[in-house]
Structure 1
Amino acid sequence: MAGSESLKLVAHRGGYDLLFSVSELVEIVAADTLQWETDDNSGLRACRFRGELLAMPDFTDFLGPAPAEGAMNSHLLVVTGRFAPFGVLVGDVCGIFAAGQFRYRDLPPMLRVPGRQCYIRLAFRQDKVLLCCDAAGLEACGQ
């Protein structure tokens, strides 16, 4: 079996297909099983994960609208953060694939927003274009 660094998870959110490295994921949780609330410190939506409040940064500007909290078939990706894990709500988890099944290209410079880029690479598989999401980029955009 391939190591987790060579495995990629494909998820769908809004109108985008997203690609995550499995090695950067802590867990995938069915969204309808979570307790949702507002973080008193940040005012952002959050959920209880293993007894702790898990930050849910707003990635709408970068990844499209999130599904409704607890929506049927939606999932929470718990992503490793620099200091603490954080959550990314996705509509569908499409599968886990070997990294070698994708072709990768850098995002053209004219499409980049300096200092606010959740992703800088695109991946291609079959007839799909995917946004390559990494924990550091997501974390920087979520602050």
Structure 2
Amino acid sequence: MIPTIALTIGLFIYYFRSTGTTLSPDNKVLIYGYDAPLELQLIYCSWLIGVLLIDNKLILPKATVLMVHLASFIVAFQSSEFFHSRIATACHLFVLNSLLVYKSRNWVNENFVSIDSLKEVLDKPIYYKTLSLMISILSVFFLICLFFNTQW
């Protein structure tokens, strides 16, 4: 819940500081006029990890969803058009899932791309709550950095 609120506030800050969607001199689409600040990208990363490991815990130990979304995030993070790249790659994942149904626990077979130790760790309340708390703290920290335009 806290990472979602932090991401929403971060997106509002990004939106209100923006100049609108523009095309850079090297023909890159810059949503809101400039690439998303690093702090906003890190808030998004913490939110995504929370969604993948905490909210979608029932899919585990099958790690296909985790791996494809983290790969999509890494591609977007490495580009100079974070949200444009993330939206484009996530849309491709949506289409691929409709064709391959990689979200199914029985895709290929039950043990294909499974991380049993991850499920075992997240089934323990102490680790589950610790991960949730760490994600929340990081989200709030990066939101404060974004709000005050702190460079670190």
For normalisation by structure 2, the TM-score amounts to: 0.23
| Greater share of residues in helix | 2
**Which structure would you say has the larger RCO, counting Cα contacts within 8 Å and 6 or more residues apart?**
2
TM-score (norm 1): 0.23
Bigger strand fraction: 1
